[in-house]
Structures are given as structure tokens and as C-alpha cells.
């Protein structure tokens, strides 16, 4: 009987926990019909297996079966609890991943632009920076990679067999999109070798969210003097919705 009381208490605690989680997060779970069904199944199983306290139990048989692993009821209750926890935690995890992505790309853009400025001045050669697709073609709205290269044939695109690649940064955002905005609708930034500055090629790279889990918006701007500046949406509207 002591063992029966112990098992019954454990199920009561699990059920109480599920009821508390469900009640406190009902507004988050209302759209997930399947998790509501799981919760109801757990409660039914709990009451079905704990209300009948008059059933005699052979202690030796019970101990023998316990050594074999979880019972079906224990497994179902555990799965129900885990399903509820995962449903609640998933949006939080995705939001955190989106924030990490925004910080990562910000760091990549700032570092790459500063490197392009330094390399162009040190090498005394023009350095091109552009957003590129998987095929290596520069485009204003590509967001797969960021290329820094010396454009030896002056066509403002990266040609692997001709141009000299300085660095290739993999961006591939999952929760956002990037766009390059430079004067005259150029698809690239040119840092001139005589000064290391993007003379006539100043503008910004805009980071805009594409997921409901991502609320970060900003611009990484570069002036004619080559100064790289981070501008969050709060102080400098990005107009991502336009």
C-alpha cells in the first residue's frame, strides 16, 4: 500500500504540474489543438489509474515489473509533459536564435567593411565589396554571402578565374533579409586604393526581419570617409516594411 500511495502521489504531482502549465500559458497554447488533446488524455489517464485505490497489489510482482522499465501509463504521462514544455519553449528558443543571427551578421558586416578599407589602402588597389548569391554574382538584394575581392577585369562582379578573392563571408540569414543600398543603384561598394575610402560609393546595408520571431532592424552604414556605423532602428528608422 505504501508503494501504491507513492505512485499515486507522483501522478498527482505530474498532473498538477500539467494543469498549472496549461492554465498559465493557455493564451499561448490555444492555437495548438493537438497539445490540448494531449493534456486531456493525460488527465483521463491519471484519474483512471489513481481513483481506484481499493485494488490490491502484489508487492513482489510490482517490484519485478518495475525493474523492466517504464509502464505504459508513465511513458504517456512523461510524453505529455514533455510535449507541453516543448510547445511553450519553442517560440522562446526561436526568438533567441533570431537575436543571435542579428548579432552575428552585424559583426560580420562591420568587420568586413573595416577590412576592405584597410586592404584597399595597404595594397593600393581598389577593393570591391558586394552581397552575392550562391553563384558568386553580385546583387543588391542577395544575402547568401559577402564578398571582398580585387576586381582585375573591372566588371564589378567576382570572376573566380580572374579576380583575387580577399574574403568570403557566409551570411545565409534564416530570420531576416539583407539589402545593399548605394548611390546610382549600384550593386557593389568600391574602396579606392589611393585613399582606402568608398568615395562616391557611400550608403548602407540594411538588415530586415522576415520572421515573427525576429524584431531586430538596423543599418550598417559607410560614409565617404570610410567610417562604418551601426544604426539601430530605434535611432535611425530602416523602413523595412517599405
pLDDT at 216 over 90: yes
pLDDT at 72 over 70: yes
CA distances from residue 133 to 41, 56, 117, 144 in whole angstroms, order as listed: 49, 70, 23, 5
33 — pLDDT class (breaks 50, 70, 90): low
For the question of whether the overall pTM of this predicted structure is more than 0.75, the answer is: no
**What pLDDT does 71 receive?**
80
40 — pLDDT class (breaks 50, 70, 90): low
pLDDT at 23 over 60: no
**What pLDDT does 45 receive?**
53
Residues contacting residue 31 through CB under 8 Å, at least 6 positions apart: none
C-alpha cell at 234: 530605434
**Given phi > 0 = left and psi -120 to 50 = alpha, else beta, which region is 154?**
left
Question: In this predicted model, which residue has the larger pLDDT, 103 or 9?
Answer: 103
pLDDT at 116 over 90: yes
- Degrees, nearest 5: CA angle 30-46-83: 40
CA distance linking residue 62 with residue 58, whole number of Å: 6
Residue the block writes with cell 530602416: 238
pLDDT at 38 over 90: no
State the average pLDDT over residues 71-89. Answer: 80
Residue the block writes with cell 589602402: 121
Highest-scoring range by mean pLDDT, 20-29, 80-89, 230-239: 230-239
60 — pLDDT class (breaks 50, 70, 90): low
Amino acid at each position: 500500500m505504501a508503494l501504491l500511495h507513492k505512485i499515486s502521489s507522483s501522478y498527482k504531482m505530474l498532473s498538477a504540474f500539467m494543469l498549472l502549465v496549461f492554465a498559465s500559458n493557455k493564451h499561448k497554447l490555444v492555437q495548438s489543438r493537438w497539445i490540448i488533446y494531449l493534456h486531456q488524455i493525460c488527465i483521463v489517464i491519471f484519474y483512471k489509474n489513481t481513483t481506484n485505490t481499493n485494488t490490491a497489489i502484489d508487492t513482489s510482482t510490482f517490484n519485478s515489473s518495475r525493474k523492466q522499465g517504464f509502464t505504459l501509463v508513465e511513458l504517456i504521462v512523461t510524453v505529455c509533459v514533455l510535449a507541453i514544455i516543448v510547445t511553450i519553449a519553442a517560440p522562446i528558443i526561436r526568438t533567441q536564435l533570431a537575436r543571435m543571427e542579428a548579432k552575428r551578421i552585424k559583426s560580420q558586416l562591420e568587420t568586413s567593411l573595416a577590412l576592405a578599407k584597410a586592404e584597399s589602402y595597404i595594397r593600393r588597389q581598389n577593393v570591391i565589396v558586394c552581397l552575392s548569391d550562391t553563384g558568386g554574382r553580385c546583387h543588391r538584394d542577395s544575402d547568401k554571402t559577402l564578398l571582398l575581392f580585387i576586381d582585375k577585369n573591372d566588371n564589378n562582379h567576382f570572376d573566380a578565374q580572374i579576380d583575387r578573392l580577399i574574403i568570403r563571408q557566409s551570411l545565409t540569414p534564416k530570420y531576416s533579409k539583407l539589402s545593399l543600398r548605394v548611390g546610382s543603384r549600384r550593386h557593389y561598394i568600391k574602396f579606392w586604393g589611393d585613399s582606402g575610402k568608398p568615395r562616391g560609393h557611400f550608403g548602407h546595408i540594411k538588415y530586415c526581419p522576415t520572421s515573427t520571431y525576429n524584431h531586430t532592424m538596423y543599418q550598417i552604414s559607410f560614409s565617404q570617409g570610410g567610417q562604418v556605423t551601426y544604426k539601430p532602428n530605434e535611432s535611425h528608422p530602416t523602413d523595412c516594411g517599405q
